[in-house]
Structure 1
Amino acid sequence: MKKPIIAVDMDDTICHLVKRAIHYNNLEFPTHPLRYEEMFFWDTTHLRHPSSTHEVFYCRPGLFEELELYDEFVVEEMMRLNTAYDVIIVTAADATAVVEKWNWLQRHMPFITDKQFITCRRKSLIQFDLLIDDGPHNLLPAIADGKKVLCIPHPWNRIEREQYAMPVMSTWKGAKETVDHLLEVNREVVI
């Protein structure tokens, strides 16, 4: 039997991007500090300093290689998911970040192969059975297409979480069991 496809986002799903980008923003623009708790929008409308652009905030050389793991459970749970399901990493990436993201994955999750690594801004173009993501711009199209989702909660997806009552996973502890439960309706036996 074909294994269900689990699409997993990288940034702010298996690692912390926004918190690290805020750190550098606040070092560079101390007169216009940002706080994670105030990041209510997914896009860069939250940037307060006129010189802090999308490129300055997200495209700092080396940024993606130094990101912290989401939590202490993410590697083990990703390994378990990778054994049970057809896991693909689907991440948006500027051209300069692709190699950094791949290097990060190989350092932390070397069991993920290059055949499982896809860079794509429009995740709705990718075939999957369940999407694990933090971005409302990815979660809502998946829901509209009738796909299962698992939302990683952050301030920028609070409104959508409440409005669409999507399942939430605030820790990776027990992620495989959570995914098993969400997909049990569509599964007979996954070996």
Structure 2
Amino acid sequence: MKKSIAVDMDGVIADTETHFLNWYEREYGVRIGVHEIQGREENEMFPDKTVARKFAFTPGFFRSLPVMTGAVEALKTLMKSYDVYIVSAAMEFPQSLPEKLEWLKEHFPFISWRNIIFCGDKSIIGTDYMIDDHIKNLDFFKGTTIMFHAFHNVNHNHHQRANNWDEVLKLLVK
């Protein structure tokens, strides 16, 4: 029997950091650099603390996310040895449910609908591994954690860090 991996969407296979910064520049005409948001939470990315939530509630935001570099190839590789599940806390933003499903169908058509889990609280997930960028999800996970690098987790070091998909593969593919 294969071991199982829960893979987060936003910030792990979908590049939300780049998307937020691009939407901000498009909407407000100001380019905020990646270095300017390091160590901040999502609600602290922009001078107006309501902007990130506003974008997340905007129809089309989740549907138009760019794919994280290396994610497609990495998941195909991991699926050879593991049961891979996409797990996303998608309940807070109701329009994200259909948008995320359509996004997955387009960019990860090789992931079965049976392996997609949209939930509100990831503490119920019982896979062997979890790859996530949020400490709140990793801290309560009972299996082995891999913290995917993100601007908001740079000051945390109590989980195994992977800075990109190549590093994830080095940790999981033997």
TM-score, structure 2 normalization: 0.86
Q: Secondary structure at the match of 1:69?
A: coil
Residue of structure 2 in register with 1:10 after alignment: 9
Aligned residue in 1 for 2:147: 151
Task: Give the SS at the match of 1:24.
Answer: helix
108-117 or 33-42: bigger deviation: 33-42
Q: Which runs of 5+ in 2 are unaligned?
A: none
Checking the alignment, whether the CA contact within 8 Å between 2:149 and 2:164 is kept in structure 1 is no
Pair member with larger Rg = 1
3-state DSSP of counterpart to 2:55: helix
Counterpart for residue 112 of structure 2:
113
User: Please, which runs of 5 or more residues in structure 1 have no aligned partner?
Assistant: 182-191
2:163 corresponds to which residue? 170
Deviation for aligned residue 1:86 = 1.2
Which residue number corresponds to residue 96 of structure 1?
Answer: 95
Report if aligned partners of 2:43, 2:49 keep a CA contact under 8 Å in 1: no
1:82 aligns with 2:79: yes
Q: Residue 189 of structure 1 aligns with which residue? A: none
Identity of aligned residues (%): 27
Larger strand proportion of the pair: 2
Query: What is the CA–CA distance in structure 2 between the aligned matches of 1:29 and 1:176, rounded to whole Å?
Result: 38
Structure 1-normalised TM-score?
Answer: 0.79
Answer yes or no: is 1:65 the counterpart of 2:58: no
**Across the two proteins, how many residue pairs are aligned to each other?**
171
Secondary structure of residue in 2 paired with 1:80: helix
Q: How does 1:16-27 map to 2 (within 5 A)?
A: 16-27=15-26
- Relative distance call for 1:82 and 1:171 in structure 2 (3 A) is same
Bigger shift: residues 42-51 or 148-157: 42-51
